[in-house]
Structure 1
Amino acid sequence: MDNRFSFHQSLESLQKDLLSMGSQVENLIHQAVEALAKMDEKLAKQTIEQDDLVDDMLIRIEESSLRLIALQQPMAGDLRIISMALKIATDLERIADHAVDIAKICIRMNGEELLKPLVDIPRMAELTKIMLQESLLSYTERDIHRAAALAEQDDEVDKLYSSIVDELTRLMGADFVKNRQLSQLMLAALYLERVGDHCTNIGEGVIYMVTGKRNDLNV
């Protein structure tokens, strides 16, 4: 009984660490897109530096998960919960990498004036942040309906991404400098689209964790 209580305490601590990591990653997305929208190189550099915190969190979650598996020898259901924590942490680390990629775009653009104020890319970022929140809640609450709903949210992100690419492509012409900026903004939108994909990956994992069945949300 004591061992079981200790196990659940450790599992709860693991999930709290995961939510903290998710909050940090969400903040990196926000900062990176804000830096790009404002051409704020200082904020972009801060975003890149803060990625180290996410890497440290990943290591901590990996160590906690492996310790739980080694010492507690969890049964199949609990093992899926721990394995899912490892998978989510990996997805979160990759999302943070995409935030860093966006911050690096801001630095590469070197303070040049934006051709037009960014509207759809920040909107896309907000959608992905909501997806991230929902994917983590689906895990902590074991909510497969919340997880399945990520597919529809990802469709919104994909549609917005396509709209951004279409708009930026139409703005291209013979001006190399202008085209270079437009290409960089397309990349930023692509990184956000990939964030959405990672969130649906988490949702798929949650459905498998709860039901034992595979469900492809990213179609």
Structure 2
Amino acid sequence: MKWNRIPLGPLQTNAYVLVHENGTCLIFDPGSEGEKLIHYIETNGWTPLAVLLTHAHFDHIGAVDDVKNKWFIPVYVHKKEKNWLTDPMKNGSLLFMGEAITTNDADVLLEGEKTLTIGDFSLQVFETPGHSPGSVSYYIEDAQVIVSGDVLFSGSIGRTDLPGGNYEQLLQSIHRKLLVLPEETIVLCGHGPETTIGAEMDTNPFLNGF
């Protein structure tokens, strides 16, 4: 199993494609530039099975409909942010971009922590609010990775000054859900480079002393 990072859009939001050895794949946070993402997947000959959103801010959802309409695959998002996909005020696009970025409704609403089985993929869903109320992280133990969205970054953490953000809640999410994972776990961040749980435990200034 391998993963691929594709930065997309003006904020260079990381879309990730997790690929099984059989050629099927999962798409995480297709934020923009749908044609570029589709071309990348087609060029590699992969078969997408689903779109999984870590949260529904505009820079993580902009190419959702492009991908869904291409492959007719389900879209997953947390129940708390189901209306954000269709509301440009809630997803922040009107505030930050001055334009409405929306998608159609999701097909699967996540609630609670659970294990998802999609094709040959098995993922653990962790509720990690703080950056946004419905932020989730996807842990794929077989690949030793966690897709954290905008919860945890290399040397930083997600912003909490947006609607529904909560600094203390974010720190609790990171410490209780992410930092308990094996230190070699690779963190696939919503922006910037990847990191590891161990590296953030040792060097992230926002996590020291919590």
User: What is the TM-score when the length of structure 1 is the normalising length?
Assistant: 0.28
Q: Greater relative contact order: 1 or 2 (C-alpha under 8 angstroms, separation 6 or more)?
A: 1
Q: Work out which of the two has the higher radius of gyration on C-alpha atoms and give 1 or 2.
A: 1
**Structure with the largest fraction of helix:** 1
**Structure with the largest fraction of strand:** 2
